[in-house]
């Protein structure tokens, strides 16, 4: 969950490129938060698709061909969850999952935080480069490219109850970027995770206070320590996920110096 106080502590960002952010003073940060930009900021294919849709005036929330294209791509990736709806926010998708499962408290399995559920939970997030929980009745894919919180898909394994909201109408330029981003992601998965960094992975696996699952790293030290740790990383030029325990996302194209910086921070903080 995002901590608004930690979000407010992030400097104003002037531009973003790849896995790096630049503030108003020109200082560079390694972005391990990567909200809505898992494959890097300004992904060329997604940016081109969004610009093309905007040049056609497709900024309003109106039906478009891009909705069907995204639904097709998701159905191909999650064949055990063929009933798919698209929402404008994570909260809308969570509400749909809750309604599908009959209401009441909703427990969502997150493979980057909770490990392999082995089909033990009725609903689960899917994170790129981690296997989907195919036994879940509702699968909530976290998209590699989005604008704000859209699109937020909900994929259902069986018949969808009438109480579940129909898809929201999402502007075509957002869907176009999501389609191209998902295509880039699929190619990346086929050729191996582009976020892999063996030297950093090795350091993290031996670092106290942190746990790694694929390209995702989460804090396992007490929550009360997280604001201080977040501030220390930010002071060193690294943006962690602004919410305990994360997960943060490891960058795949670190220079040797950046790799040493990250390995040192994770090993030393907290208390390594």
Average pLDDT of the chain? Answer: 91
- What pLDDT score was predicted for residue 56? 95
Residues 55 and 165 in one domain: yes
Residue 238 has which token pair?
């690294």
Residues 176 and 257 in one domain: no
- What pLDDT score was predicted for residue 269? 86
Residues 108 and 122 in one domain: yes
* The total number of structural domains that make up the chain: 2
- What pLDDT score was predicted for residue 115? 72
pLDDT digits (tens, 9 = 90+) for 159-215: 999 999 999 999 999 999 999 999 988 887 766 677 778 889 889 988 989 999 999
Residue 239 has which token pair?
């943006």
Q: Which domain holds residue 229?
A: 4-39+194-268
Q: In angstroms, rounded to a whole number, what is the distance separating the alpha carbons of residues 228 and 214?
A: 25
Task: Give the domain-ending residue among 128, 157, 190.
Answer: 190
Residue 150 has which token pair?
């859209």
Residue 173 has which token pair?
């330029």
Q: In angstroms, rounded to a whole number, what is the distance separating the alpha carbons of residues 199 and 205?
A: 10
Residues 52 and 82 in one domain: yes
Task: Give the domain-ending residue among 175, 190, 205.
Answer: 190
| Domain at 34, CATH number | 3.90.1150.10
Each residue's pLDDT expressed in tens, for the chain with a length of 272 residues: 788 899 999 999 999 998 999 999 999 999 999 887 888 888 778 999 999 999 999 999 999 999 999 999 999 999 999 999 999 999 999 999 999 998 878 889 999 998 765 556 799 999 999 988 888 999 999 999 999 999 999 999 989 999 999 999 999 999 999 999 999 888 877 666 777 788 898 899 889 899 999 999 999 999 999 999 999 999 999 999 999 999 999 988 889 999 999 999 999 988 65
* Residue 36: partners with Cβ closer than 8 Å, 6 or more residues away: 143, 145, 146, 147, 148
Q: How distant, in Å, are the alpha carbons of 159, 190, 192 from that of 129?
A: 27, 10, 9
Report strand pairing: 210-213 vs 216-219. antiparallel
- What pLDDT score was predicted for residue 252? 80
The secondary structure of 91-160 as a DSSP string is HHHHHHHHHHTTSS----B-HHHH---TT-SSEEEE-TTS---TT-SEEEE--SB-BTTB-EEEEESSPP
Residues 31 and 49 in one domain: no
| Domain at 140, CATH number | 3.40.640.10
Q: In angstroms, rounded to a whole number, what is the distance separating the alpha carbons of residues 166 and 74?
A: 17
Q: Are 127 and 111 in contact (CB under 8 A)?
A: yes
Residues 172 and 209 in one domain: no
């Amino acid at each position: 969950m995002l901590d608004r106080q930690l979000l407010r502590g992030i400097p104003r960002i002037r531009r973003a490129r790849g896995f790096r952010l630049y503030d108003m003073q020109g200082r560079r940060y390694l972005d391990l938060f990567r909200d809505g930009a898992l494959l890097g900021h300004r992904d060329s294919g997604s940016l081109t698709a969004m610009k093309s849709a905007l040049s056609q005036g497709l900024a309003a929330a109106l039906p478009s061909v891009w909705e069907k294209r995204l639904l097709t791509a998701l159905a191909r990736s999650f064949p055990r969850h063929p009933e798919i709806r698209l929402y404008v926010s994570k909260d809308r998708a969570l509400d749909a999952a809750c309604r599908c499962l009959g209401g009441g408290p909703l427990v969502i399995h997150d493979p980057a935080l909770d490990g392999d559920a082995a089909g033990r939970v009725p609903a689960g997030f899917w994170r790129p480069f981690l296997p989907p929980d195919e036994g879940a009745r509702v699968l909530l894919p976290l998209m590699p490219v989005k604008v704000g919180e859209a699109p937020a898909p909900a994929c259902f394994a069986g018949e969808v109850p009438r109480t579940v909201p129909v898809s929201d109408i999402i502007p075509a330029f957002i869907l176009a970027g999501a389609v191209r981003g998902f295509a880039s992601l699929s190619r990346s998965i086929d050729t191996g995770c582009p976020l892999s960094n063996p030297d950093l992975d090795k350091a993290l696996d031996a670092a106290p206070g942190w746990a790694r699952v694929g390209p995702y790293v989460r804090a396992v030290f007490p929550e009360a320590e997280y604001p201080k740790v977040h501030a220390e990383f930010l002071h060193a030029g690294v943006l962690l996920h602004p919410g305990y325990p994360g997960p943060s996302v490891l960058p795949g194209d670190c220079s040797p110096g950046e790799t040493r910086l990250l390995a040192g921070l994770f090993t030393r903080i907290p208390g390594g």
